[in-house]
Amino acid sequence: MTLNIRIATRKSELALWQAEHVAGELRTLPEVDDVVLVPMTTRGDEILDRSLQNIGGKGLFIKELETAIKNDIADIAVHSMKDVPADMPAGFCIATVLERASPFDALLTRSGQKFMELPHAAIIGSSSLRRQAQLRALRPDVRVEALRGNVNTRLGKLADGQYDAIVLACAGLERLGFEQRISERFDPEQMLPAAAQGVIGIECLEERDNLRRLLAQLEHAPTRQTTLAERAVARRLQATCQSPVASFATLHGDDLTLLALVAGIDGSHILREEITGSSADADALGTEAADRLLARGAAELLAPESA
DSSP letter (8 states) at residue 193: P
DSSP sequence for 84-149 = S-SSPPTTEEEEEEPPP----EEEEESS---GGGSPTT-EEE---HHHHHHHHHH-TT-EEE---S
Measured at the CA of 84, the angle between CA 274 and CA 123, to 5 degrees, comes to: 75
Which of the residues 45, 83, 105, 164 is marked catalytic?
Answer: 83
How far CA 7 is from CA of 2, 63, 229, in Å, comes to: 16, 14, 27
Phi-psi region of 198 (alpha: psi -120 to 50; beta: other; left: phi over 0): left
Phi, psi of 166 (to 5 degrees): -135, 160
Determine whether 164 is an active site residue. Answer: no
Our measurement of the distance from residue 32's CA atom to the centroid of its chain's CA atoms, rounded to an integer in Å, reads 28
Q: How far apart are CA 132 and CA 296, in angstroms?
A: 21
Please choose, from the candidates 141, 134, 7, 20, the residue with its C-alpha nearest in 3D space to the C-alpha of residue 76. Answer: 7
User: Is residue 37 within 8 Å of 7, Cβ to Cβ?
Assistant: yes
Residues belonging to the active site: 83
